[in-house]
Amino acid sequence: MISILTNDNFDRAVTPMPGLHVVRFWAEWCGPCRMMAPLYAQAARDMQEQAHFAEVDIDAAPELASRFRVQSIPTVLLFKDGKVLDRMTGAGSKAAIEAFVSRHLN
């Protein structure tokens, strides 16, 4: 399941929570973002036991994009224990998304 994050719920959903949180920043008008969406959803289903998956629509929450210095989309940020641990920029395959997350599993 992919959670939808907004300015109102981001800090409650990601920052204080333990474990890995994978957050995709995207926009409806972004072609690579739309191309990546089903791959991200498949990775989220396959890795739901290892990490929490969420996404931020930068048009609905530009403050979050600015806060985390997201300058191009799609960008996927990996949070661990509330802190940004890694970032992946550009549309990635399902295998690339899973490898990105797997590098940080203990």
* Confidence band for 95, pLDDT divided at 50, 70 and 90: very high
pLDDT tens per residue, range 39-54: 999 999 999 999 999 9
The pLDDT of residue 26 is 98
Q: In the chain, where does DSSP find H-type helix?
A: 10-13, 31-46, 62-67, 94-102
| 33 phi/psi in degrees, rounded to 5 | -65, -45
* Confidence band for 1, pLDDT divided at 50, 70 and 90: confident
Whole-number average pLDDT of the chain: 94
> Is 106's pLDDT higher than 80?
no
> What range defines the domain where residue 63 resides?
2-102
> Is 68's pLDDT higher than 80?
yes
Q: Which residues participate in catalysis according to the annotation?
A: 30, 33
Chain centroid, CA 27 distance in Å = 13
**Number of structural domains the chain divides into:** 1
87: domain CATH number? Answer: 3.40.30.10
